[in-house]
Chains A and B, each alone.
Chain A
Amino acid sequence: MHKEDMPLIFEISSPGRIGYSLPEMDIEEIDLAELLPEGYLREEEAELPEVSELDIMRHYTALSKRNHGVDSGFYPLGSCTMKYNPKINENVARFNGFAHIHPLQDESSVQGALELMYDLQQHLIEITGMDEVTLQPAAGAHGEWTGLMMIRAFHEANGDTRRTKVIVPDSAHGTNPASATVAGFDTITVKSNEHGLVDLDDLRRVVGLDTAALMLTNPNTLGLFEENIVEMAEIVHGAGGKLYYDGANLNAVLSKARPGDMGFDVVHLNLHKTFTGPHGGGGPGSGPVGVKSDLIPFLPKPIVTKRGESYLFDYDRPQSIGRVKPFYGNFGINVRAYTYIRSMGPDGLKAVTENAVLNANYMMRRLAEYYDLPFDKHCKHEFVLSGKRQKKLGVRTLDIAKRLLDFGYHPPTIYFPLNVEECIMVEPTETESKETLDEFIDAMIQIAKEAEENPEIVQEAPHTTVIGRVDEATAARKPILRFQKV
C-alpha cells in the first residue's frame, strides 16, 4: 500500500470485532447437521469484514469525502440532469407506510401506496400527453426496451412480422441501439444534417416496410429541438412505423411541448433526472413508460387501476408483453418523483423548464467566445461546445475536464454525442444560480487561456484531487475486480 492510500474495509478488519446487534435467540436451537443435508452446511466462512460500528461510520464518511455529488458542488453533466435533490423527498420515501410495506400484501392493506401510484400515473399522463402509463421499468434503458417490446408486440399482433428495424439518429444515447438489440431488432442509423438535426432526406431513405420504430430524443443530445418533428412523424407513421420518445431530455420541454402532441406513440421518462429521484451514485432510477391508446393492451402487467374508491392491480391483460420487473417498479423512487411534482405544481414545472433553458443559453452565449460552438442557435436545456480549438494547442477535451476538477466542479459530459469533435456537453439545470454559472464560466475562460499560455497545467490536471489520473489501460488489461487477502 502507498502511504496515501485509503484503506479498504477489509484492511481495517480485526478478528473478533463486531458491528451488529441481532435480535435475541429466544428459542431452543437444534444442531444444524440435523436440519441440513450433508455437504450443504457452509464450511469455509465468507471473508466479510470484522469491524466496530464506529469503524464503519468513519470508513464510509472518509469515502463520502472522496466523492462529489450535487450537494458538494456544480455538476453540469450533460444529458444527466443533475439538479438539486429535494430533502423532503428523502423524508417522505422513508415513511414507514412507504418504505416498509411488502409488495405481496393484500391490496386492502396498501391502498395508500396504490393511490400514490395511480395519481403519479395520472400526472405523468398529463405531462407526456399519452393515454396510459406503466411505472414498472426500473430505469431509462429498461423503459426503452419495454417500449420497444410493446412496439414489437403491436406489429406482431397486426400480423406485421417484417418490421425488424429500429432507426436511431447518430447523436442518440448508446442505450437506444443496445435496447433495440435486446428487444430483437436490428438498428439502422439516420444521419444528422449540418444543423445538428435529423436529416429528413436520409430518414426518408431509411424508412420502409421493415421499419418498426424511430427512436428520438427531443431536444436531441446536442440540446437542439428537432424542429421537423411533425414531418418526421408523418414520414415514420406513413411507412407504418411507430415513434419512440427517449425522455432523457424532458427537462427541456415541460409545459412547452408534450411528446404525445408531437406524434410520439411511446415515451419513457427518467424520473431520477427530470423528477429529482436522486442519481444515487449510478442508481436506482425509475423509467416509467407512457403509450398512446393503440399500445395500451401491450403494457407490462399489472397496472394500477381505480374502481369506485378502491385502487387495485389489473392482471387481466391477455396481450401484455408480460412482466419486465418483479412487482411494480422502483416504488421508492416513484414516491420521490411524486413528492417533487406535488411540490412544484403546474406553474412550478413550467418555471423549471424556462429557467433550465435560460441558464443553458446564458452559459452557451458567454462561452461561445472561448470555445467553438458547433451549432449557433438557441439551445434548450443543454448545449455542446467543441474543444477543437484547444486541441490544436495540444490540450484535449479530456484535459479540460480534468482541469475543471481543480476548481471543484464535476465536468460536463465529454466525447458525447459522437458526431461532435472533442465534444463538451453542458447541462446546468434550473436549480443553479446565476452566481454559480458565472463562477463556472470564469473557470472555463481561465482554462481556455491556460491552454494558450500554459498548456501543461491543463494537460497535467488534476492537481488538487485525492488521486491523479488513473491508469485505465492496465485496469482493463489485468483486471483486479475484488480484494484478495495476500
Chain B
Amino acid sequence: MKHRYLPLTENDKQSMLKTIGVESIDELFSDIPEKVRFSGEYNIKPAKSEPALMKELSRMAGKNADLKTYSSFLGAGVYDHYMPVIVDHVISRSEFYTAYTPYQPEISQGELQAIFEFQTMICELTGMEVANSSMYDGPTALAEAAMLSAGQTKRKKVLISATVHPEAKEVVKTYAKGQYIEVVEVPYKDGVTDLEALADLADSSVAAVIVQYPNFFGRIEPMVELQKIAHDQKSLFVVSSNPLALGALTPPGKFGADIVVGDAQPFGIPAAFGGPHCGYFAVTSKLMRKTPGRLVGQSKDDEGRRGFVLTLQAREQHIRRDKATSNICSNQALNALAASVAMTALGKNGVKEMAVANIQKAHYAKKAFKTHGFEIVFEGSSFNEFIVKMNRPVKAINEELLSKGIIGGYDLGRDYPELDHHMLIAVTEQRTKEDIDTFVQELGDCHA
C-alpha cells in the first residue's frame, strides 16, 4: 500500500531485504510464535483521505458547544481566559513540538532554556525558591506533594481541606492508597477550611496540611492561621493555587508554604475538554532534592558559554528505578512553553491587571445577582468564583441556558450533597458587562 507517511518504495524494500538476507518481510516476524500471531488486518474503520477526514472530524467537533461561540460561566478548575494569539504561533514551531525530552543538551538548548525560564516564572508567582519543569496537571501534582510530604516527615497521614477541588481530592486519595497514606478530610465552615476542626485533627502524625488558595468555592483561605496549625505540628504546609490569582494575591511562599502546586492552564492553555493542561510544582530549597519530575539547571560548556541541562537526575526513575522520588517520566513541556509565552506576553503588569480584572468582574457579577434577589452563599473575599443558590436542580437550569448560548456554572450538588441546587459561577476577564447582565437576567428568568 502507498501512504503519504510511508516513504519506502517497492524497490527500496527489495534492496533492503536483499541486504538483510531474507526473502520477505514476513520472515522478520518469524520469531512471533504461531499461537499468538495475528493474521490479517484489524477490524477497524478504513483509512480516509486527508480532505475526507478533515470534513468528518470537523463535523464531529461541530457537535460540541465551544467556548468561542458560547458565553461561559463555568470554571471549577478550568477557565476561559485571554489567550495571547502569539502563544499558538510559538508552540506551533515544530522544533519544539516534534522534539522529545532534552537528553542531548547541545541540540536542545532551546527547550532547556524555555523550561529554565518557566521554572523562574513559577518561582516568581508562587514566591517559592525552586520549581520543576511541570507535571501532568494540578491534581496529580497535589498527589505528588502529598507523597513527598509523607516521605519527608516519615508520617503516613495527610489532612486535606474539603474546599480543595473535589477531583483533586479523589486523585490524592487514589495515589495515597498506593502508598498506604491515610487521607483525612477537614470540613469547611462558611466556605473556608474550618480552623477549629483542623486544630482538632492536627497532631504529630500528620505529614501535611493540604489547602487550596483561592479554594474551590473561590474563597480566600485564612493562610496565616492554616500555616501556623500545620507548622506547630511540624507538618508540611501544602498549597494548591491558581497561578493567575497570584498575580494579585499574596503568594503562598510569603505565608510559609513548603510546597505549592497547581495548574498553569489559565496561562495560554485551552480547556481541551480537561487536558492536556500543565501542572506546576514549587518547593522551598530544603525540599529541592525530593522534588519529582525534571529539573533544568544552568551550567557552562567547556568554553565558558552558558548552557542548560537536565539536572539532579539522581532523583529520577531512569537512574534510581524503584527508589526514585516518583515514577513520573514525561512532563508537559509543550504546555509549559505555552504558559511561559503567555506569562511573558502578560508580563509583570499584565498578570496583575488580568488577575485584578477577574476579582473586579466577579465582584460586579456577585453584586448584580444580589440586586436581582439571588442569595450568595458563603459571602466574603473571593477571586473569580462564587456560589449562587438556585431554587431547582442546576442541571436543568444549565440545559435551558445552553439553548440561549450560555454555558452555566458548576453543579455543586455533584460533590457536596448539602449544596444541592447551588451553582459555582466563574467570571473571568473574558466576560463583558453585557455577558454578565444577560446571564443574570437569564438566570432570573430560569429562577422564576
Contacts and interface: CB of A to CB of B under 8 A. Distances in A.
B344 interface: yes
B111 A411 contact: no
Interface in A27-71: 27-30, 32, 35-37, 39-43, 45-51, 53, 56-57, 59-71
B264 interface: no
Nearest to B51: A88
A113 B76 CA distance: 20
B330 interface: yes
B226 interface: no
A187 B327 CA distance: 13
A138 B277 CA distance: 10
Interface string A262-289: 1100000000100000111111111000
A431 B4 CA distance: 9
Nearest to B98: A69
A112 to B, nearest CB: 3
Given A181-B323, A348-B47, A56 B345 contact: yes
Interface residues of A, number: 207
B95 A69 contact: yes
B54 interface: yes
Contacts of A1: 306
A250 B84 CA distance: 38
A323 B170 contact: yes
Contact of B19 (A175, A224, A345, A366): A366
A86 B5 contact: yes
Contacts of A466: 106, 109
Interface in A160-202: 173-175, 177-184, 186-187
Contacts of B204: none
Given A30-B360, A184-B179, A60 B309 contact: no
B41 A350 contact: yes
Interface centre among B17, B37, B61, B63 (most CB of A within 10 A): B61
Contacts of A402: 106
A53 B130 CA distance: 28
Contacts of A258: 38
Interface in A434-486: 434, 462, 465-472, 474-476, 479-483
Contact of B20 (A6, A321, A365, A433): A365
Contacts of B410: 104
B5 A48 contact: no
Contact of A257 (B36, B301, B306, B318): B36
Contacts of A72: 94-95, 98
Given A65-B110, A149-B178, A347-B47, A330 B276 contact: yes
A43 B300 contact: no
A279 B98 contact: yes
A98 interface: yes
Contacts of A67: 95-96, 99, 102, 107-111
B305 interface: yes
A174 B86 contact: no
A56 B86 contact: yes
A225 B34 CA distance: 13
Nearest to B101: A282
Interface string B237-278: 000000000111111000000000000000000111111101
A177 B18 CA distance: 41
29 contacts: A20-B84, A22-B354, A46-B121, A50-B348, A64-B93, A67-B102, A69-B95, A96-B67, A97-B63, A101-B64, A101-B66, A105-B65, A106-B402, A110-B65, A110-B273, A115-B63, A127-B44, A141-B317, A174-B316, A182-B327, A253-B32, A263-B36, A281-B111, A282-B111, A332-B275, A346-B42, A351-B1, A351-B3, A472-B309
Given A103-B275, A322-B170, A327-B274, 16 more contacts: A2-B303, A23-B430, A42-B246, A46-B352, A66-B113, A67-B110, A69-B97, A75-B99, A110-B273, A111-B63, A149-B174, A284-B332, A351-B6, A378-B22, A470-B299, A482-B129
